[in-house]
Each structure stands twice: as C-alpha cells, then as structure tokens.
Amino acid sequence: MDANLREVPRICDKIARKEREGKTFFSFEYFPPKTEAGVENLYARIDRMASLEPLFCDITWGAGGSTANLTMDIATNIQKYQGLDCMMHLTCTNMAVGVTKEALKEAKEKGIHNILALRGDPPVGEEWKAAVDGFEHAIDLVKFIRQQYGDYFSITVAGYPEGHPDGYLADKISYEEELANLKAKVDAGADVIITQMFFDVDLFLKFVKKCRDAGIMVPIVPGILPLMSYNGFQKMTGFCKTAVPPELSEALEQVKGDDAAVKDLGIRYGVDMCRKILKSGLCPGIHFYTLNTENSVMAMVDALGFVSSTEAIRSLPFRKSTFDPRRTERVRPIYWANRFKSYLFRTTNWEKYPEIQWTNGAARMFLDPPKENILNNVDATPEAAKKLLEHYGEVRVLSAQRMERKTPQANRSLQSRVYRF
C-alpha cells in the first residue's frame, strides 16, 4: 500500500492506521489563488509536492465563502489528478443551511470524504454574523454533517493552543470554556483536531495535555507555518495574536533585512519545533501551512527525514487517483505514461478499469489470458469492445508455441515482463 494510504479515503482512518503502525505522517494546506494563472501554478506545485506522498492535503474556503466554487473544483481535481485525498474546508460564514447542504451533496458526489468544519472569518472589514437560516458555530456544522451523512465524512475541527483570537484572546470567554467548546465539537462527531499556527512548542504541548485531561482523545495534529518573510511573519502573528518566543524574536531581528537568511532561520526553527513535538510522543504527525509555496516546506520535510531515500514510497509505477472508482486501480497502459492526466480525463466515466497481473506471474504470464483480458473486464458488447480498442489497441500476448522457439536466455528475460498493450 502507498505511504499515503490511497485506498483509505477518510483522514481519521488514515491517521489511526499510521498510529497503529507507529509511523509519522505529514500533510499540506493550500488556498485558492485569485487568478487563473495562479490556479495553474498551484496545480503544478501540488504535482511536485505530491511526489513526497503526504498523507493528505487540504484546501481553504475563502472568507465569507468567497472561493466556494473554486475550493470545490480544486479539491476535486487534486483527488482526480494529483492522487491525494483532499480535506475541504467548510465554514458557517455567509452560508445558509441550503447552501451548506448543496456543498456537502456535491462534495460526496465528487468523492470527497473529508471536511474541516469551521465557523470561518468574515470578509475583510466586516463583523462576523450568522447568515439568515445559517449556522452560528462550528459545532452546529459538525452536528448537521453527522445527522445528514452519518460516518461518510471524516470531520476535522480547529484547535487553538493559545486561545481563539475572537474568544479567550479577546477576553470574551475563559480558556477552560474554550476547551469545553472543543470537547463539545468532538462529542458532536469531530474525528480530528488540527491546530492554529503557533511558535511556542511548550505552550502547544501544555494544550495537548489539557485536552487529554478534559477527555478530548481524538488525534491532535499541530499546524506548522514556516517563517518565510519578516513582514509576512509580523502581519500573520499580529492578525492571529500569536505568541512569539523571545529567542525567535531576537534571532529574526538580526536577519530581518536578508530575505534568504529569514527563510533559512524559518526552516531551522520549524524543524526544531517539529522534532520537539514528535519527540514528546503526543502527536502522530505534522500539518504544514504551505501558503502555496514549496521550497521551505519541502526543505523541512527533507530535514526531518519524513521521506525515505532507500525505500519505495509508492506501490505502483504511477500515482493512483483518489477519485473513488479508481482507488483500487492497478494497471494503466504504458503508452499513456507521459499523458496520464489525459488518460484520467478520457476514462473518467468508465464503470470498470483494466485489471491484470502486476506481479511476478511467470508461471501463467505467457498463456492466453482468461479473465485478465481487458476486454473481458467489462460488459463485452460490440460498442464496449470498440471503445476499449480505441483507447488501448489490441492485446498482444506471447503464445506457448512462440515461447518454445526462444532460447533459454530469452525465456528468462521474457519471464520478467508483463503483458504489453
């Protein structure tokens, strides 16, 4: 099975599997770009980052639902073409119940199994308020999803190690009340918690322990934001009211005029944070907020040794789609290898896909294929056969008679091959 467990659609089940196996995982977050060119660039970037086999990725839902359609499209395409299970953010902001219901229906139809349920932020310059006939809190959204869809979706909610910027940090409720609210979301059906970014690891670890003491037992995944620029760091920590340890603040001030040095500091500090978190044994993996960039995050993944340099991290020569009908796909025509997206697009509506031996089947490989023949794998109507032949061409198999005419050396060579199409 692949490192990111493509055959397991729900994130909570993926994480549980990793925990049972004692293996650490990592995942990436992206946001919808504002331009068409930006979207194309993002797909190319995700393609490159997907080669590291993250356990999953997620795509945000713009403030006030401003990117709802694009979020859905990107999540769908990531699963179909990039081969990663994608967790789609869904918020309460500016969302009537009917709109939420339609979004969830479409997500299920497109094979999305994972939702990050959030209250959400209002559009810039506006105060947050519930939509007419809408949900007011994330717990309402969690309850609605469970009532409507049972266990189909794995539901993730947000955790705030330092407190919510509009809650405890705004002196509206106590820290204990925030923990009680988080537990209520878990009791209502949330499977996983991913935290807001932070830079104080000790504070985060205390948060995890307080959650456990409060009876919150679901996986808590730390959200790590690589420090990439001085101005961006100041803006983000100010907006989120994030505590900055003195040692990080001092080190940053010394290099703030050198962009490359700031990024290097961010990578080193982020790696140290991750190592300390994983060493604690309290968390099963790391979630990276990429800000749609790749260099810093990929450098951290490499430094942490998350990707083996000696073992295969994919079970097949191609990256399988996580579009539900294709999760168990094991064979693709070799002459589509350089145009796999075209192949995926052209075969999207197929009800069945080719199945054939993809292991060492030397003892039977050269006989006429019985049920393994592609044409026997679908309803073999003349129309279906014609359509398959247009895509694959004729099935060519070496016969026993031809095998007998080969030399012993040639026979051994042939036994290492699979059917050619």
Please list the active-site residues: 29
Whole-angstrom distance, CA of residue 245 vs CA of residue 163 = 16
SS3 track for the chain? CCCCCCCCCCHHHHHHHHHHHCCCEEEEEECCCCCHHHHHHHHHHHHHHHCCCCCCEEECCCHHHCCHHHHHHHHHHHHHHHCCCEEEEEECECCEHHHHHHHHHHHHHCCCCEEEEECCCCCCCCCCCECCCECCCHHHHHHHHHHHHCCCCEEEEEECCCCCCCCHHHCCCCHHHHHHHHHHHHHHCCCEEEECCCCCHHHHHHHHHHHHHCCCCCCEECEECCCCCHHHHHHHHHHHCCCCCHHHHHHHHHHCCCHHHHHHHHHHHHHHHHHHHHHHCCCCEEEEECCCCCHHHHHHHHHCCCCCCCCCCCCCCCCCCCCHHHCCCCCCCHHHHHHHHHHHHHCCCCCCCCCCCCCCCCCCCCCCCCCCCHHHHCCCCHHHHHHHHHHHCCCECCCHHHHHCCCHHHHHHHCCCCCEC
The DSSP bridge partners found for residue 29 are 58, 289
Q: Which of 52, 49, 48, 46 is nearest to 32 (CA)?
A: 46
Q: Return the ∠ at Cα 288 (arms to 282 and 289), rounded to 5°.
A: 130
Other C-beta atoms closer than 10 Å to the C-beta of 143 total 18
Q: Hey, what's the torsion of the CAs at 238, 243, 249, 255, to 10 degrees?
A: -50
Compute the half-sphere exposure of residue 316: CA atoms within 13 Å on the CB side of its CA.
21
